[in-house]
A and B are shown apart, each in its own frame.
Chain A
Amino acid sequence: MNLSLRWLADYVKLDVTPKEFCAAMTLSGSKVEAFEEEKTKLDGFVVGKILSKKVHENADALFVCSVDMGGEAPVQIVTNAKNVQEGDLVPVATPGTTVHEGNESMTIKVAKVRGVESCGMFCGLETLGLTQNDFPYADPKSVFVLQEDCKPGQDVASALGVDDVSVEFEITSNRPDCLSVIGLAREASATFNVPLNVPAPQYHGSDEDITKTLSVEIQNREKCTRYVAGLVRNVKIAPSPRWMRERLRASGVRPINNLVDITNYVMLEYGQPMHAFDLRFVKDGRICVRNARSGEKITTLDGIERELSEEMLVIADTEKPIAVAGVMGGEYSGIMDDTVDVVFESAYFEPVQVRRTAKKLGMRTDASARYEKGLDETSMPVTLARALQLVEQLGAGEPVGTTIDCNYAKPQKPAIPFDAAWINAFLGTDIPEADMIKYLESLAIKVENGQCISPSFRIDLLRPADIAEEVARIYGYNNIPSTVIRGVAKAQLTPEQKFNRTIEQTMAGLGFSGILTYSFISPKYFDKIGLPSDSALRRTTTITNPLGEDTSVMQTTTIPGMLEILANNYNKRNNAAWLFEIGKEYLPTAPDKLPDEPHRLTVGMYGDEADFFTLKGTLEALMKKLGVADVIYTRCDDNCPYDEKSAFHPGRSAVIYAGGQAVGIFGEIHPNVQKTYGIGVRTYVAKLDIPTLFAVSVDEITYKPLPKFPAMTRDIALVCDEAIAVGTLESAIAEAVGRYLEKVELFDVYRGEQIEKGRKSVAFNIVMRNYEETMTTEQADAAMKRVCKALSKLGAELREA
């Protein structure tokens, strides 16, 4: 909503600068986005009077003018304008002024034009930022010869009345009453504590009986509760007067002609949309507000044919719809150059109805934006009267003195209890009751017998809390004290939240940087990681109105998102990346139910130090920190529970089981997938299932006494087939040693000289300890004998030292 401060001054007299006005209005609840002093756009433009005009000595198409600029001596200006004559008043851009024409701008200088000095430039409408709508008499293609009452030397802004201040308000949806000059004047009156003066509109009108010509019938009285109509005879279509054009312009509305301008003017002034019909196109003079019929069509003012549906409300005559109620008029219903008689409409249409219709037809108009927020059901006769008053004032036609008012509006809403003590307790303030009443009355809210009677235009006031807000905003939000909440509340993170925090901190400690990726991905990402076409992960929670395909489905796997980020980093020539993210997967459940949103830890890395075992070691360290024990690694074979195994190198990937449950998958990315993502180095990714990890983790730590007896240590080196996994050897050793095993640790794997091809040498360090007494050498030797036996069963031979 753009407000003209000059217009505002009709209703409330203020003695503040525009800046002070904006600041105070914002703090009382009418938020100002910006304000513009129109005259600043015309700095440097001065009225000049042409004293003489001669043909340029060196150019036939140019003229040299002597111009009275209000100074002591006339100045010389060279122009190519043919339409200026001696004695004309014209706008002159003086030296130093920057002028804009189209997309170009230039600064006026004193310069020689074909050898003759020129000290300025004559301007047309466009250069002044105006159009012919603002000054209909001006020739838009040439210099603007002023017909205004002004004198040489006067600044153009004041000469043309382009010196208003336009204030742009952001009006919230609960205050449609403030989408009007009078509504904002009322707010200003309360804010600055000055009186508001809005006279009731008066007009004379003819004695004609409107009902002889026009009838109104409301068929759907739920959706249209009031319809007021007036009639104007013998209209004279002409430009509206300058003051009206100025105000419309400052409000951001283009002046058209007097009749159209009047409807816009009243809408801006009162917030009530008005519509004007040409009586010729209201067949039989019978207006009917009804639902559209199935298949009915209307061509709206913008020239587009629109198909209506039965739930839409239309203004119709006996034959056809002539307007979509509250949204837009029909093409042939509006004001034309040869219009003689005009019907004015001021009506109340139910907000949801208007909103749905406008949305369905895809046209939001100034009118629909107001109707859909809810208007004052009592304002229709007043706004019609105001329109008719303006018609008389502008000499735009002859209003008929009688009007039609079809009123099915329900009686006033109930009063709201007023309790000053409660308001103070609610706000935490100590405002005297008398002050509260003063604030409320300045907003036209009556306080009587402990009740607030809110005015009809305040559709947002329903409860005591609403009244408290009115008091608070006029008292000033910033005058409310600041206090600390009383009482004690238990506060700590839940075990799950602490678990996530530990993951976050541990991963950062292990050298990985946190990232945040989008939760939605492209369905094509599934192909990029080679996901099987029948994978359940391809069943997604899908956005019906996405920004684009790339962000159209909620991710069912976090792996593609991580790969995208790794690829971006690789493309930017970052030579290494170690990244992690705690994010969510969105796994569909049943139709019309919400998906599950389990947390996942995704880890990704590439670069010199990145390899399978660094990633595995990271995950091991993390799980140890999280209290996840009994961890087993298996190959991503046919039993792999993760469909994303397609993204991994089959020989360099693993599924992690803990406590018997699959908790994640990790490994090197498959060369094909790496290629698809355009990553030129080996890349490693892990995905861990946080809820399952949490379920199998053990939070408690029980202290175990330090050993009192020494350990026995044995190293063992053996040779076996490549096919035998270190893990298999390790478990065999552990089982063979039995209860005194403290630790078995791999310390070397060797292939090469002295070892047959296809075989490897593996060395372990074994630590044994009896916590009850000193372990004897004999016991240790016996254990090692069992170890050797178990290993030879596996086909591993002890390697000679």
Chain B
Amino acid sequence: MKEQLKQIEEAAREQLAAVADLKALDELRVKFLGKKGELTGILKQMGKLSAEERPAMGQLANQVRSSLESMLADKTQALQSAAQNARLAAETLDITMPGKAPRTGRLHPLQIVENEVKEIFLGMGFSVADGPEVEYDYYNFEALNLPPDHPARDTQDTFYITDNILLRTQTSSVQVHVMETQKPPIRVISPGRVYRSDAVDATHSPLFHQIEGLVIDKGITMADLKGTLELLMQRLYGDDCKIRLRPHHFPFTEPSAEVDVMCFQCMGKGCRMCKNEGYIELLGAGMVHPWVLENSGIDSSVYSGFAFGLGLERIVMRRYNISDMRLLFENDTRFLEQFR
């Protein structure tokens, strides 16, 4: 009997080694361990043994059973993992094939930069004001210290609807609306479309975008204006960006300045892009003219403020190296798809 048990164990080991799939393995399990299996058959003969032989033989039989069970378990695991490996190998993909992307859209480059500027100012505590594009002469000119027949009106070729209504030539018109409806402290920007009767070419468009800024409070200084614009430019162009102020004249600010930003192509050394100036003109700014404050009901002996206006197209064209403004309004998908 002892021999038989040993033989079964040997036979099982040999046959297991030859098994290649889980089905054959299950058949072996039945053959050796099943109710009608070989080991069960041997155990049924236990009763024939003497009482002395029975415990030792019983122990041996149990050893063989657990050895068989463990061999079967090992084999099962080996086969399962081989099967898994085979499946994984079979499922290998050519990972260089293109991905399946859902269709993606993007914003227009002007929207992208406008949003960026808005974010910068929201972070500095500015809110955003809107104003009408079709506007009364009063808001666009008169309340900004540009009475009828003021020579500075010549610099802004205006589209008129009636003698008294026009397409705003500058977002500065929103300044007056804001001052009429809000009490200081005021801290707003106002992005929007403006119109001038310039024929379309690579650098002109009858319609373009500006962002106006207005700050009014007690003790606002020209140094604050400079600091604010410096911060804006550094956020837009990097921390080493420098600005330069030049005296200028706008009827609605005093002092007035034109603001240049250091050419980011040559970092101020002078190159073709900045016409050897080292700086590029980017915006107009100044301290709000006391007449403008008073005209809008703000006491200029108590409050002071600054205002600025920047042209969005100019910033966008510089940023993306776009040389023809017409591209911005043609909306060719091959153009639009280049932006993120």
Taking beta carbons and an 8 Å cutoff, which residues of A are in contact with B?
Answer: 26-29, 31, 172-175, 351-352, 355-356, 372-373, 425-429, 460, 463, 465-466, 468-469, 472-473, 477-478, 480-494, 497, 501, 504, 507-520, 541-547, 551, 554, 565, 568-569, 572, 574, 576-580, 584, 586, 592, 594-595, 597, 609
Contacts and interface: CB of A to CB of B under 8 A. Distances in A.
Contacts, number: 244
B34 interface: no
Contacts of B134: 541, 554, 586, 594-595, 597
B254 A465 contact: yes
B103 A481 contact: no
A262 B231 CA distance: 52
Contacts of A468: 254-255, 287
Contact of A172 (B102, B185, B248, B332): B248
B152 interface: yes
A372 B154 CA distance: 12
A574 B206 CA distance: 27
Nearest to B135: A594
B187 A489 contact: yes
Contacts of B103: 510-511, 578, 609
B185 A512 contact: no
Contact of B249 (A173, A425, A519): A173
B93 to A, nearest CB: 25
A480 B244 CA distance: 11
A465 B303 CA distance: 13
B331 A516 contact: yes
Contacts of B254: 463, 465-466, 468-469
A509 B105 contact: yes
B215 interface: yes
29 contacts: A27-B244, A172-B152, A175-B249, A352-B149, A425-B221, A463-B291, A469-B256, A487-B185, A489-B126, A489-B185, A490-B125, A491-B121, A491-B187, A492-B127, A493-B127, A494-B128, A509-B105, A513-B336, A514-B336, A515-B336, A516-B108, A519-B193, A519-B207, A543-B167, A547-B206, A572-B332, A577-B333, A579-B333, A586-B134
Interface residues of B, number: 84
Interface stretch (B54-62, B81-89, B158-166): B158-166
Given A469-B256, A482-B230, A544-B162, A514 B108 contact: yes
B132 to A, nearest CB: 6
A352 B329 CA distance: 39
Which residue, of A175, A487, A492, A579, has the highest number of chain B Cβ atoms within 10 A? A487
B226 interface: yes
Given A29-B246, A477-B245, A477-B247, 11 more contacts: A466-B254, A477-B246, A477-B257, A483-B224, A483-B226, A484-B227, A489-B126, A565-B330, A569-B331, A576-B333, A592-B162
B32 interface: no
Contacts of B247: 27-29, 469, 472-473, 477
Interface in B95-112: 102-108, 110-111
Nearest to B306: A485
Given A547-B206, A568-B330, A592 B108 contact: no
Contacts of B159: 543, 545-546
B11 interface: no
A597 B133 contact: yes
Given A426-B287, A513-B333, A584 B105 contact: no
Interface in B174-225: 185, 187, 193, 195, 197, 199-200, 206-207, 215, 217, 219-224
B337 interface: yes
Contact of A31 (B115, B246, B328): B246
B287 A478 contact: no
A373 B249 CA distance: 13
